[in-house]
Chain A
Amino acid sequence: MGIWILILLKNIQIKSISKFSFSLSLFFFSIEECVICNYFVLVGEPTAISCPVITLPMLHSDYNLTWYRNGSNMPITTERRARIHQRKGLLWFIPAALEDSGLYECEVRSLNRSKQKIINLKVFKNDNGLCFNGEMKYDQIVKSANAGKIICPDLENFKDEDNINPEIHWYKECKSGFLEDKRLVLAEGENAILILNVTIQDKGNYTCRMVYTYMGKQYNVSRTMNLEVKESPLKMRPEFIYPNNNTIEVELGSHVVMECNVSSGVYGLLPYWQVNDEDVDSFDSTYREQFYEEGMPHGIAVSGTKFNISEVKLKDYAYKFFCHFIYDSQEFTSYIKLEHPVQNIRGYLIGGGISLIFLLFLILIVYKIFKIDIVLWYRSSCHPLLGKKVSDGKIYDAYVLYPKNRESCLYSSDIFALKILPEVLERQCGYNLFIFGRNDLAGEAVIDVTDEKIHQSRRVIIILVPEPSCYGILEDASEKHLAVYNALIQDGIKIILIELEKIEDYANMPESIKYVKQKYGAIRWTGDFSERSHSASTRFWKKVRYHMPSRKHGSSSGFHLSS
């Protein structure tokens, strides 16, 4: 190119001022629109060079074309017998000699305009030991696993009158005989070899040679082609690499790159995305589909399309995204579907389950701790609403049994049984108690009274004191045995044990008491005999009330005793 600029500048300088603008435009032309400037010929072979400007539309009318050796004002001869001559617009070298290498100028004149072009002829010798020169080769490309052609080019000017289709001899790496391969077919009219099923082994240097007869003398005209074989996968059908009709889990609002790609032996087989029967760009204007392609080894092309979902929206979960490509007039499709992440649902389920179990556990603990309060609150608030129950035929809510006080006993069970118990249960809570020693009438047989009253009672309250001397008395009491017997066996009456003081050892207690203690447990009196301990809302009394039957309004009032 550098040479060209210099040459043309020289032309501009030698032209007159009036021709300056024309030369300048020619100068542009030469820079921008480079045409074939270099011509190659083997020494001893003929060549014909055409002027590169003759196809200009302005030259379709009459024109004169003249060739010059560069730097010479003398036109090259038109004498046909001369080794170098011009004929029908072509510059002939029959044959070319090494010293012919160099620049030549063709000038085209039509009416009042003219154009020049300079070409560069290079005359080569064969490379050592070869039938061609490596700098003169034509590159030709075929694809394996397909048919392909090797063309012997640029022979148009060497057809003479009696030899329209000159015989062409072919050589591969300068050796003949390779045409015995059945896959290779000579296409004479086309100056070509047709390879029916190209293999990698077909690559190499092919030389074609014809004989050109001019003025009774024969000259060789040869061309050498470097055949490159592009590997093409053997009958490989295009297939999706991704997606494979699969789903992907994406969070709402997350960023996703939707990619689809196809591997094939065909370049330019672009896949494309569609959703809801429209292009993804139409489905959402923020989706910008981009196509890409990459060449892989062994002639495999990976063609793809992708778009970004910058923020996954709910509508993206509603449709399948289809990726299509066209091959052999058929449409191939694969889809991808977005889904909400599964592990989160599982997480919610697990979390919810654990919370539920925890809640139940908490409720159980709360119930365990506040069971008594809850039951008492329920009785006080809800029981009246439930209406009156059918009478069970009992008169007393509890039959109270306590050890008669002795002097040796520290605990005043009399005070508890005769004063505190009635104060709380009868006066404050409205229960009706049968307290032996208070309600019994003098002269009645103890056993008869006990039997009868227990039958008429809903509970049996047994008050225990720790001193052996004290419960020793209890032991003897047939009243107690009978009470326990009646309560346990006959009527299934519930027994409430109240310890006035902690009893360490039940070993000396009667078996029946041991049994009751084991079955129902005991409530220990924690208060004293002060007024404060006489409140039904203390913990002790709440426990007692809990074990007491649900109080019946109305029926109890008749038996209410005022202190």
Chain B
Amino acid sequence: MALTIALLLLHAEAAGSVPCRAPALQTKVFKYRIWDMNQQSLYLRDDQLVAGHLQGANAALEEKVFWVPNRFFKHELQPVIMGIRNGTRCLACPAAPQPTLQLQDADITELPRSGAASAPFTFFRTYKDGLWRFESAANPGWFLCTSARAHQPLGLSRRPDAAHVLDFYFQLC
């Protein structure tokens, strides 16, 4: 009985989390793997993206990153919007003195059309020696980072140091 109710509720919630889509998918959503230069993958814990080393069968917990270019911003900045769970939970970083990373329900294919409102979801990319950095569009100078300590949430940092890793491998699945 409890299981039935739970599954019904779960189904309702899953259906509600996918907003109406335009009939034709106009931007292909890329499915990538992302891992930091210290070999930490991302997984979800308490609705937070956490970076850690996944041992053995735990590798299946790795979250794949879905992304689209955001054409509202200058191409030269290589702006992207990233999300997990097929692009239904998007990485958001609203403007703040001490910005934090959140996951928000959004349709990754719709976000690029929301203009300036897509800024908290947008990251500018730079590439160097096989690794990417992701700068928050809403928080200039703040980059996506992992903690040097394992199993800590993904966050934002101004610069790489002993405690923060800013460089990521970012590659097609």
- Give the interface of A toward B (CB within 8 A): 5, 9, 12, 24, 27-28, 31-38, 40, 52-53, 55-57, 135-141, 143, 145-151, 153-154, 156, 190, 192, 225, 230, 232, 266-270, 272, 279, 281, 288-295, 301, 324, 326-329, 331
Contacts and interface: CB of A to CB of B under 8 A. Distances in A.
A298 to B, nearest CB: 14
A153 B48 CA distance: 21
Contacts of B28: 290-292
Interface in B6-45: 6, 9-10, 26-28, 30, 32, 35, 37-39, 43-45
Interface string B124-157: 0111011110000000000000000111000000
A33 B169 contact: no
A279 to B, nearest CB: 6
Given A291-B28, A291-B69, A154 B3 contact: no
Contacts of A328: 127
Contacts of B39: 138, 140-141, 149-151, 153, 225
Nearest to A37: B58
Contacts of A295: 172
A272 B53 contact: no
Given A267-B172, A290-B26, 12 more contacts: A28-B6, A33-B44, A35-B44, A36-B45, A36-B52, A36-B151, A137-B56, A141-B169, A149-B37, A150-B39, A153-B53, A153-B150
B46 A281 contact: no
B27 A267 contact: no
Contact of B46 (A9, A55, A136): A55
Contacts of B61: 34-36
Given A146-B129, A149-B37, A301-B172, A36 B43 contact: yes
Interface in B64-92: 67-69, 71, 75-76, 78, 80
Contact of A33 (B6, B30, B47, B76): B47
A266 B170 CA distance: 9
A139 B45 contact: no
Nearest to B33: A141
Interface residues of B, number: 52
Classify the interface of chain B: helix, strand, loop or mixed.
mixed
Given A9-B2, A36-B43, A291-B28, A232 B130 contact: yes
B32 A288 contact: no
B76 A331 contact: yes
Contacts of B32: 267-268
B130 A288 contact: no
Residue among A35, A52, A289 with the highest chain B CB neighbour number at 10 A: A35
Contacts of B58: 36-38
B27 A154 contact: no
A290 B150 CA distance: 38
Nearest to A133: B56
A270 B69 contact: yes
A270 to B, nearest CB: 6
A428 B25 CA distance: 91
Nearest to A144: B130
A38 B56 contact: yes
Nearest to A143: B130
A192 B127 CA distance: 23
A12 B2 contact: yes
B76 A288 contact: no
Contacts of B68: 291
B56 to A, nearest CB: 5
Residue among B47, B58, B150 with the highest chain A CB neighbour number at 10 A: B58
B6 A293 contact: no
B44 to A, nearest CB: 6
17 contacts: A24-B2, A28-B10, A35-B43, A35-B61, A53-B46, A136-B56, A138-B53, A141-B39, A143-B169, A149-B37, A149-B39, A154-B53, A230-B171, A266-B127, A324-B75, A327-B127, A331-B76
A269 B76 CA distance: 11
B96 interface: no
Nearest to B173: A295
Contacts of B76: 326, 331
Contacts of B47: 33
